[in-house]
Amino acid sequence: MADEGEPITTLVPKTAEPILRVPERLLERQGYNYRRMLSHLHDHLLKNEWCDMACQARQFNGRNSATNRRAASRRMPSLFAKCLSLGELLVIDYAGHGNGHRGEILQVKLLRSGVQSDMERLAARRQLERMLTRKEISDQKYHRALLLLDR
């Protein structure tokens, strides 16, 4: 037994993995991780497909619900800035207003340099204009993103 003056400390070993293995995907146990998100987006890039908010909600929160989709959407501006600092351009496709939509994020995709469809270019330009008018990015980041788009 410890004396009255000695603090009692116990060491709890960390044995939990940061991810859960679910069939055909890895589920993040500790919330949002930008490195794992970029890896997930690169997987979609190899398949040449967009990653929608439902996919991100399932990947990082375990299930596709409106709350989890909103949580994933809230992280997109910071993920965009992170990608831009790494020299990659993240295209965010927004829904138009009307028909029950209020301009929310539908899907995202990393742009491959030189291999962009017209839809990807249009979505990227619309996104950059929107982010600039809402002051989500600076003029310097806006011009850097345009350079990445045009290469």
Sequential DSSP letters for the chain = ---TTSPP---------SEEEETTEEEESSS--HHHHHHHHHHHHHTT--EEHHHHHHHHHSS--HHHHHHHHHTHHHHHHHHHHTT--EEEEEPPEETTEES-EEEEEEPPTT---HHHHHHHHHHHHHHHHTTSS-HHHHHHHHHHHH-
pTM for the structure as a whole: 0.71
Distance (Å, rounded) from C-alpha 103 to C-alpha 43? 26
For residue 9, the model assigns a pLDDT of 47
| % of residues, the chain, pLDDT over 70 | 72
> Is the residue at 47 inside a domain?
yes
pLDDT, tens digit only, all 151 positions of the chain: 555 555 544 444 444 444 445 455 555 555 567 788 888 898 888 888 899 999 988 887 778 888 888 888 888 888 888 888 888 888 888 877 656 566 788 889 988 776 677 888 888 888 899 889 988 889 999 999 888 888 7
For residue 121, the model assigns a pLDDT of 83
> Is the residue at 120 inside a domain?
yes
For residue 15, the model assigns a pLDDT of 44
> Is the residue at 8 inside a domain?
no
Distance (Å, rounded) from C-alpha 66 to C-alpha 116? 30
Q: How many domains does the chain have?
A: 1
- The one-letter amino acid code at 10 reads T
Distance (Å, rounded) from C-alpha 57 to C-alpha 49? 17
> Is the residue at 93 inside a domain?
yes
Distance (Å, rounded) from C-alpha 110 to C-alpha 37? 11
For residue 10, the model assigns a pLDDT of 47
Reference 96, options 67, 127, 74, 68; nearest CA is: 127
> Is the residue at 6 inside a domain?
no
> Is the residue at 11 inside a domain?
no
- The range of the structural domain enclosing residue 146 comes to 30-150
